[in-house]
Amino acid sequence: MITNTMSTHKSFEKHIDVAETGLTAVDLLSEATELSKQVIKQAMTKGAVWLTRDKNTQRLRRARRTLKKDDIVHLYYNAEILASIPTKALLIADEGDYSVWYKPYGLLSQGSKWSDHCTITRFASQHLAPERPAFIVHRLDRAATGLILVAHTKKATAALTELFQKRRMNKQYQAIVQGKFPTSPKTLTFDTPIDDRVAISHVQLIEYSEKRDCSLVRVDIETGRKHQIRRHLSEAGYPILGDRLYGIEASPTVDLQLTAVLLSFTCPLTQELRCYELDKDLRPQL
């Protein structure tokens, strides 16, 4: 049985029940779509093809992998998404079981059913030597830049994720906001809940530009809710420059001026203190 929700040739889904053992996904999908085998292979490499086997569904990348009867092959094809070119991340440190990267603007923390080729994990797995699997530990907004951890074993993934969950990870950001941020008290704490969950941000002024009427601020967060820093600063009357979601008349030519500049923690694998800081030239500049 083939279910097809295709509306245009540029974007569609296809789900195919495998009727016999021995076929490959490339052959199966080329017969069921108008796409060439080469296009399908590229879609597989970029994470748009999935395989369900014994109630387990995961991405299928190997073009020559033999399918079994009762497997289900899924194709999520979107020409525009698959044509996207990932921006290049910068390796900060390779610790073997995990690595630290500078994530640039536009690179995703997590993929979707349509692809994962523009994610930090996929970039890391393809550019480390030796190559190894990559797993997400925490997230940065697509529009944000800065330091991000990527794990390379399931043990490291679980251990590092637990650090974030138990708030044992020191996370520091810098942002450029509109207006003159207060200096008294030295540090302002914002604790407005986000989505009915505790959210705590501590913010202090680093530098103010009278000419631009903008402030460079330091932000330390205890929690990591979605858009936490952006929402807290916007609600306080100091929206981040380039914030097209929570800002005021954000310029389409200015990227979000929010960067994760420091990560420090006790490594759960070695019990050694780790501290990673971003070079000044990669931080927001007034």
Q: Each residue of 40-52: pLDDT tens digit?
A: 999 999 999 999 9
Taking each helix axis from N to C terminus, what angle separates 25-32 and 37-45, rounded to the nearest 10 degrees? 120
Would you place residue 250 in the very low, low, confident or very high pLDDT band (cuts 50, 70, 90)?
low
- Respond yes or no: is residue 141 known to be catalytic: yes
Do 177 and 259 belong together in one domain? yes
Would you place residue 2 in the very low, low, confident or very high pLDDT band (cuts 50, 70, 90)?
very low
Q: What is the pLDDT of residue 4?
A: 43
CATH of the domain at 113: 3.30.2350.10
Given 71, 97, 141, 243, the catalytic residue: 141
Structural domain that includes position 253: 170-266
Mean pLDDT of 221-246: 94
Do 232 and 252 belong together in one domain? yes
Do 78 and 98 belong together in one domain? no
pLDDT of 173 > 50? The answer is: yes
Say if 120 falls within a structural domain: yes
pTM: 0.90
Amino acid, res. 161 = T
For residue 188, which phi and psi values (nearest 5 degrees)? -100, 135
Question: ∠ at Cα 167 (261, 92), nearest 5°?
Answer: 30
Do 8 and 52 belong together in one domain? yes
Mean pLDDT of 240-261: 87
Do 31 and 75 belong together in one domain? yes
Say if 273 falls within a structural domain: no
Say if 285 falls within a structural domain: no
Range with the poorest average pLDDT among 7-21, 42-56, 141-155: 7-21
pLDDT of 258 > 50? The answer is: yes
Percent with pLDDT over 90 in the chain = 92
Do 69 and 136 belong together in one domain? no
Please tell me the total count of domains within the chain.
3
Helices (H), the chain: 25-32, 37-45, 79-82, 120-127, 154-165, 228-235
Q: What is the pLDDT of residue 9?
A: 60
Residues 6+ apart with CB under 8 A from 6: 12, 13, 14
**Arithmetic mean of pLDDT over the chain:** 94
Picking from 165, 191, 225, the residue at the C-terminal end of a domain is 165
Do 72 and 31 belong together in one domain? yes
Q: What is the pLDDT of residue 254?
A: 86
What CA–CA distance (Å, rounded) separates 281 from 265? 24
Amino acid, res. 68 = K
Would you place residue 249 in the very low, low, confident or very high pLDDT band (cuts 50, 70, 90)?
low
Q: What is the pLDDT of residue 248?
A: 73
Residues 6+ apart with CB under 8 A from 158: none
Say if 125 falls within a structural domain: yes
Say if 53 falls within a structural domain: yes
Mean pLDDT of 144-149: 98
Do 52 and 94 belong together in one domain? no
252: preceding bond cis by omega (within 30 degrees):
no
Do 21 and 71 belong together in one domain? yes
Would you place residue 35 in the very low, low, confident or very high pLDDT band (cuts 50, 70, 90)?
very high
